[in-house]
Amino acid sequence: MTPELPADDLTQSPAGTVSFESIVGHAHAAATLDPTAEPVLTMDNVRMYFPIRSSLMRRTVGHVQAVDGVSFQVPKGGSLGLVGESGCGKSTTGQLITRLYKPTGGTMMFEGHDLAQMSNRQMKPLRKDIQMIFQDPYTSLNPRHTVGSIIGSPLAVHNVVPKKKILSRVQELLEVVGLNPEHYNRYPNEFSGGQRQRVGIARALALQPKLMVADEPVSALDVSIQAQVINLLQDLQKEFDIAFLFIAHDLAVVRHFCPEVAVMYLGKIVEIADRDTLYSRSHHPYTQALLSAVPDVKQAAIGGRRERIMLEGDVPSPINPPSGCRFRTRCPLAREICAKVEPPMLQVGPRHKVACHFAGELGNHPHDPVTARMLGVDNEGSPDPGASPSDIGNEPGFSDVWFDLKERRTVKP
């Protein structure tokens, strides 16, 4: 049993000392987007193929295409959400940024360095700028170390604080994440799940990183504790100006935390947009299905159920992904062209990109592929000698001009 711990911070205090008003004052509304922020991390066409070897000869017989051509930017001090279902490559993407693996291809520009090309030695000074928060607060903390040494070890490894000052810095950090600073010599098992996640956050915070990769930081926690941790992360982001890559499967939590969200399916980003666009006017059938599948408490309570878009079958194997558009095997809109040509990542609004031949709002998808002409193919996806293909890249970030889906031409605001 977890021993009763004395009051740690505002959110841990006994009743009477904290009123509803004060707790509301510390709770955050959803984060907002700063469109002018410079990117701190730019991922450009990043790929990660894991080789599969045969058992007998150790010959490479194929590849798991875990991440296949992912491009995005994380703005300085802002947050980008990365959502998708299990096996879509979102966690692998996070692990690539912290260089748990060396990517197969692409560039990952961080502060003028290409993380993808760096050796482990070159990475070391950069590691303190990029920290990770893990999903499971039970297995990610060494049970034989005190929380003080867990939080203090990155300080010692990177030599950022003189030895004598480590303890006081650890106590400072404990206080920042809302734990009692006197508890530095306790062991992880003496803390509850939510408190352990705070320890994990303090450890990640110790080196004052510029970028945090948070991989499902709240999904292992009880509902009532999730909100505590999300609020804490929002506090820290504001106070220390940390950029977040927030990886989660929970679309509602991501909506609250991230003003900009990318949706992944089978190793590729299928849609990326600012929050309002993505959650109310998404253009990709997968995003639409995903959103319609999330049960919605407050709406269901007043109006009953929304119409769900049911996806048939299961996610195909990343070893042998479908040709053309990877979503086509489960897509209600799929047509001939989808199997033949891969849809490009097309910017369709000021901060909105989508990879679909039939991109459009729910119930308003076009009848003809919007991408055919620019790809130099006809509506069935066969090469069209009459068409003049234009150059559509897979660049990260957004451009000032975009393709207007209604008028079917490039527009400038």
Partner 1 sequence: MSGDPYLEVTDLSVRFPTSDGLVQAVNGLTYSVELGKTLGIVGESGSGKSVSSMAVLGLHDPKAARIEGSIKVGGTEVVGLAEDKMRSLRGNSVAMIFQDALAALHPFYKIGAQLGEAYQVHHPKASKKEARKRSIEMLERVGIPQPDRRVDDYPHQFSGGMRQRAMIAMGLINDPSLLIADEPTTALDVTVQAQILDLLQDLQREFNSAIVIITHDLGVVAEMADDVLVMYGGRCVEYGACKEILTHPEMPYTWGLLSSVPDVTGDPNARMIPIPGNPPSLLDPPPGCAFHPRCVHSSKVPGDLCATTLPELTVGARQGHLKRCHLVDSETIYATEVLPEVAPDLAIHLAEENR
C-alpha to C-alpha distance for 389 and 405, rounded to whole angstroms? 17
Let me know: does 217 contact 191? Beta carbons within 8 Å.
no
Q: Which is nearer to partner 1, 182 or 314 (CB)?
A: 314
Q: Which is nearer to partner 1, 305 or 408 (CB)?
A: 305
Per CB under 8 A, does 290 bind partner 1?
yes
Q: Which is nearer to partner 1, 15 or 57 (CB)?
A: 15
Q: Contacts with partner 1 in 238-257 (CB under 8 A)?
A: 249, 251-253, 255-256
Structure tokens at 178: 């809302």
Instruction: Choose one: 129-137, 228-236, 351-359, 384-392; the region binding partner 1 (CB under 8 A).
Output: 228-236
Q: Contacts with partner 1 in 295-354 (CB under 8 A)?
A: 295-302, 305, 308, 310-311, 313-315
Per CB under 8 A, does 2 bind partner 1?
yes
Instruction: Choose one: 99-107, 158-166, 191-199, 350-358; the region binding partner 1 (CB under 8 A).
Output: 191-199
Q: Which is nearer to partner 1, 251 or 355 (CB)?
A: 251
Q: Which of 170-202 are b and which e, b meaning 16 or more Cβ less than 10 Å from the residue's Cβ?
A: bbebbebbbbbbebbebebeebebbbbbbbbbb
Residues in Cβ contact with 118 at an 8 Å cutoff, skipping those fewer than 6 apart: 99, 126
Per CB under 8 A, does 37 bind partner 1?
no
Cα→Cα distances 35→75, 322, 351, Å: 9, 35, 9
CA atoms within 13 A on the CB side of 350: 7
Residues in Cβ contact with 63 at an 8 Å cutoff, skipping those fewer than 6 apart: 49, 50, 51, 52, 319
Shortest Å, Cβ 190 to partner 1: 12
Per CB under 8 A, does 180 bind partner 1?
no
Let me know: does 166 contact 155? Beta carbons within 8 Å.
yes
Please give the distance of CA 404 from its chain centroid, rounded to a whole number.
Answer: 27
Q: Where are the alpha helices (DSSP H) in 158-266?
A: 166-176, 193-205, 223-240, 251-257
Instruction: Choose one: 59-67, 156-164, 224-232, 397-405; the region binding partner 1 (CB under 8 A).
Output: 224-232
Per CB under 8 A, does 279 bind partner 1?
yes
Q: Contacts with partner 1 in 5-24 (CB under 8 A)?
A: 10-16, 18-20, 23-24
Residues in Cβ contact with 384 at an 8 Å cutoff, skipping those fewer than 6 apart: 372, 376, 377, 378
Q: Which is nearer to partner 1, 108 or 278 (CB)?
A: 278
Using CB under 8 A, list all residues that contact partner 1: 1-2, 4, 10-16, 18-20, 23-24, 27-30, 85-86, 192, 194-195, 222-228, 230-231, 249, 251-253, 255-256, 275-276, 279-280, 289-302, 305, 308, 310-311, 313-315
